[in-house]
Amino acid sequence: MARFVLVHGAWHGAWCFADVVQELEERGHAAEAVDLPCDVPGLTQHDYAALIGPQPDAILVGHSLGAQTIPHVTARRRVYLGGLLPVAGAYDEAFAEGFGGTLR
């Protein structure tokens, strides 16, 4: 069976993957969700990748902003789940006026 490491996006934590971890484990896989310190100002995707550390035997799943972290982590395979990719101009068109979700 496979080993999964699940990486959350902004404004989330490991808690958001609780049901996914349970489902994967019920199917015989090993699964863990990392809890990144998103509330610490100034950390970058490189800092988050260092906290996760190399995962050469894992399928690394990056959700939302986590998709910008997983390319910096050694992994067997990477899965982008609704990932916000680093594409020029993407944020200019990503949120409707008045969204407010970019403020902490």
- Cα gap 38→71, rounded to integer Å: 18
Closest of 77, 31, 76, 34 to residue 57, by C-alpha: 76
State the catalytic residue, choosing from 45, 64, 68, 69: 64
The full 3-state SS of 56-90, as one line of letters, equals: EEEEEEEEHHHHHCHHHCCEEEEEEECCCCCCCCH
Beta bridge partners, 4, equal: 31, 59
Q: Is 14 a catalytic residue?
A: no
Give the active site residues: 64
